[in-house]
């Protein structure tokens, strides 16, 4: 009996729902001109974003490692005597070169899909180029400093003030020519 009452209540409930008016709106969507296929640019954007992400990771890791090594080297340099300064500079240069080679070999031997390998190869090329430019700039600066030291020695060794002024003028002219 209770079951029949439940079924009657359910039937009444469903009938009331079905008898209620419903407002349904029909919307038609007009088709416009088809958009051009942009898959290639999306892939390029994804590849560029992935490459940028990978380079940022490597740069952050490299910067942290380099800072730690530089701090160690600086503490060694501070403790060093003047006689050992040239040896320490050579050691510093060698450790930096070794680190650069290690980073480059890690990037060259990277594993992963083609996009990540390509990104790492591009990062390797960029780092090599950057380090070569830095080395060239440092060597040019070192040559200029050596030249200035030699000039100062020659000027200080001259006896008369007129000779010193002439030499200083010639040196200024030579520096001007070198910069061009």
* pLDDT tens-digit map of 28-76: 666 655 555 555 555 667 777 777 777 777 777 777 777 777 667 666 6
Give the helix ranges, DSSP H, for the chain.
Answer: 2-19, 39-79, 85-108, 114-157, 161-179
Instruction: Quote the pTM value.
Output: 0.42
How do the domains of the chain map onto residue ranges? 43-142
The lowest-confidence range among 52-61, 78-87, 108-117 is 78-87
Give pLDDT, residue 41.
56
Task: Compute the mean pLDDT over every residue in the chain, rounded to the nearest whole number.
Answer: 75
CA–CA separation, 139 and 137 (whole Å): 5
Taking residue 103's Cβ as centre, other Cβ atoms within 10 Å add up to: 20
Give pLDDT, residue 133.
92
Does residue 173 register a pLDDT over 70?
yes
CA–CA separation, 172 and 178 (whole Å): 10
- Kindly report, residue by residue over 5-24, the tens digit of the pLDDT: 777 777 777 677 666 666 65
């Amino acid at each position: 009996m209770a079951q029949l009452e439940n079924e009657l209540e359910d039937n009444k409930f469903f009938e009331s729902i079905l008898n209620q008016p419903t407002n349904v709106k029909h919307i038609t969507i007009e088709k416009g001109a088809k958009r051009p296929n942009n898959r290639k640019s999306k892939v390029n954007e994804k590849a560029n974003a992935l490459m940028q992400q990978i380079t940022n990771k490597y740069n952050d890791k490299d910067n942290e490692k380099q800072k730690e090594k530089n701090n160690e080297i600086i503490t060694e340099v501070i403790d060093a005597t003047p006689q050992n300064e040239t040896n320490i500079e050579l050691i510093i240069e060698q450790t930096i070169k070794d680190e650069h080679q290690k980073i480059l070999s890690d990037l060259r031997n990277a594993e992963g899909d083609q996009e990540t390998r390509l990104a790492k190869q591009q990062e390797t090329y960029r780092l090599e180029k950057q380090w070569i430019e830095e080395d060239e700039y440092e060597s040019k600066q070192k040559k200029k400093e050596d030249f200035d030291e030699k000039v100062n020695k020659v000027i200080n060794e001259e006896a008369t003030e007129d000779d010193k002024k002439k030499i200083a003028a010639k040196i200024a002219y030579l520096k001007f020519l070198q910069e061009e």
